[in-house]
């Protein structure tokens, strides 16, 4: 097993200016795993209730996602999140959160998951993320996501958890909030000083940035004319990013830069339709085509001229 994700598996109710879904498959680990499955074998660790049907399991199965560590609490209900987006699709307004079986979630990693080369700790309570991290003795790379609620309520524990991971993948508002620093560059440097070797900043329609010790790399978002539902875009990005790295031998700066593009490509498909609908139908050809468009979009030549005469001579 080369890539494991721990996180929420949910039913989502979502309303955007373009439409509405009352109940669809969602959750951070769901979006992540479907996206990552286009690149490598994925193992999902989470919990669902008895209301999680064959149809939902089939989605994972169709993408070869190993659900052996997806615990089913037969007499409980699956985590439910309901949110609304207005015309600024960068801001999700949470209308309802029913934790249900997720309230007592204790991630249980099988021997196979514990041997994963790469692990993504999706957005869950930071103490739980740290407990999982401590069990991963041989992982080559562990990445983490979080959300504003944990930054506000459990900051100290979150900082402690961040000290033990290799990559932090969060959005720009979370970077500023976590570092208590309005300048993104300074905030990023502060987070890196706690221990991780890289910080990936997701910036919604403005793209994404990668900070490592002494280097900076940034890309725009894929220019889409119709964005339908941004739910899960961040996790889908992380899935493309980590999935590509899992499929690659040796993780270096060049691989991480390509992983940023694959992350953005996957997120760009995710937002075109509700929930996981578009990504579920994706083909490798579509992914590669958008990757190439990204390359063209961001390529530029070396300085084209040299002035023959120096001004003032
Ligand atoms: P994002 O990639 O940030 O848009 O994440 C969207 C997913 O996060 C949705 O599919 C929700 O089911 C899930 N989610 C929302 N609130 C929480 C929470 N408190 N803990 C874990 N997952 C959540």
- Return the residue matching tokens 């999935």: 243
pLDDT at 313: 55
In this structure, what token pair is assigned to residue 264?
A: 């953005």
Which of 14, 26, 28, 59 has most ligand 1 atoms within 8 Å of its beta carbon, as the pocket-test mutant?
28
Centre of ligand 1 from the C-alpha of residue 285, in Å: 29
pLDDT at 41: 96
pTM, full prediction: 0.95
Q: Cα(first)–Cα(last) distance of the chain, in Å?
A: 67
pLDDT at 294: 95
Average pLDDT of adjacent 10-residue blocks, the chain of 313 residues: 93 95 98 98 98 98 98 98 92 94 95 95 96 94 96 97 98 97 97 98 95 95 92 97 95 96 98 97 98 95 80 60
Could you give the dihedral angle defined by the CA atoms of residues 249, 254, 259 and 260, in that order, rounded to the nearest 10 degrees?
170
Centre of ligand 1 from the C-alpha of residue 313, in Å: 63
Centre of ligand 1 from the C-alpha of residue 175, in Å: 17
CA angle (255 as vertex; 142, 197 as ends), nearest 5: 40
- Residue 233 CA, closest ligand 1 atom number: 2
Antiparallel, parallel or unpaired: β 42-49 and 3-6: parallel
- Residue 31 CA, closest ligand 1 atom number: 10
């Amino acid at each position: 097993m080369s890539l494991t994700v721990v996180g929420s598996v949910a039913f989502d109710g979502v309303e955007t200016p373009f439409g509405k879904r009352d109940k669809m498959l969602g959750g951070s680990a769901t979006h992540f795993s479907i996206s990552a499955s286009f690149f490598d074998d994925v193992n999902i660790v989470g919990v669902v209730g008895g209301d999680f049907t064959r149809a939902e399991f089939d989605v994972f199965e169709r993408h070869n996602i190993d659900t052996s560590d997806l615990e089913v609490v037969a007499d409980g209900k699956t985590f439910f999140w309901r949110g609304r987006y207005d015309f600024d699709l960068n801001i999700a307004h949470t209308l309802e959160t029913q934790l249900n079986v997720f309230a007592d979630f204790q991630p249980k990693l099988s021997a196979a998951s514990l041997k994963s080369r790469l692990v993504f700790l999706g957005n869950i309570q930071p103490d739980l993320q740290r407990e999982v991290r401590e069990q991963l003795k041989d992982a080559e790379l562990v990445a983490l996501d979080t959300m504003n609620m944990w930054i506000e309520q459990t900051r100290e524990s979150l900082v402690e958890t961040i000290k033990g991971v290799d990559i932090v993948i969060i959005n720009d508002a979370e970077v500023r909030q976590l570092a208590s620093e309005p300048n993104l560059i300074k905030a990023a440097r502060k987070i890196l000083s706690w221990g991780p070797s890289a910080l990936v900043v997701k910036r919604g329609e403005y793209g994404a940035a990668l900070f490592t010790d002494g280097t900076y790399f940034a890309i725009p978002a894929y220019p889409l004319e119709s964005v339908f539902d941004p739910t899960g875009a961040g996790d889908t990005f992380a899935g493309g990013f980590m999935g590509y790295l899992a499929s690659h031998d040796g993780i270096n700066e060049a691989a991480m830069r390509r992983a940023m593009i694959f992350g953005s490509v996957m997120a760009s498909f995710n937002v075109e339709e509700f929930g996981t609908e578009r990504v579920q139908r994706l083909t490798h050809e579509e992914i590669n085509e958008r990757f190439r468009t990204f390359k063209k979009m961001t390529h530029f030549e070396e300085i084209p001229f040299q002035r023959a005469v120096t001004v003032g001579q």
